Amino acid sequence: MKNVVILHGTGETKDSFWFPWLTKELEKRGYSVSLPQLPDANHPGIKKWLPVALKETYTPETVLIGHSAGCPLQLSVLENLDLKIKQAILVAGYARPKLDDPNTFKTYWLIVQKVRNSKNGTHFQAKREVDYF
């Protein structure tokens, strides 16, 4: 199944920014698009957002897009999936340090491993290993 899951960021909804445009364009190309409304969007947190995101349908043909605070959520989704998705796209990623759990992401290298849980992921490499969260 050709599908896209879009995870919004802080204070956002399915009608924010470029989400309506992208949804329309992807549907024209035959994708099924899901953009779940994450609870308490003004106060992001992996503990409350992850269960909602994991209820979505993920297959080897899934494209997963995270925006802003949806990016750390996206990485947690990748970490919890038992399969590789087609592509992971992180857009303008942002997270407050240690959102809910200081051990969510210990180092940049853990983040790279999570992005690699997609067949076609893009990541940026730091000059040295440091704690990012």
Write the DSSP assignment of 4-34 as a string of letters.
EEEE--TT--TTSTTHHHHHHHHHHTT-EEE
Question: CATH number of the domain that 37 lies in?
Answer: 3.40.50.1820
- Residue 98 falls inside a structural domain: yes
pLDDT per residue, tens digit, the chain (133 aa), is 799 999 999 999 999 989 999 999 999 999 999 999 999 999 888 899 999 999 999 999 999 999 988 988 998 999 899 998 999 888 887 755 555 555 544 444 445 555 555 566 554 443 444 433 3
- Residue 127 falls inside a structural domain: no
Strand order in the sheet with 85-91: 32-34, 3-7, 62-67, 85-91, 118-121
**What pLDDT was estimated at residue 68?**
86
Determine the structural domain holding residue 116 and report its residue range: 3-121
- Residue 8 falls inside a structural domain: yes
Q: How many domains does the chain have?
A: 1
- Residue 24 falls inside a structural domain: yes
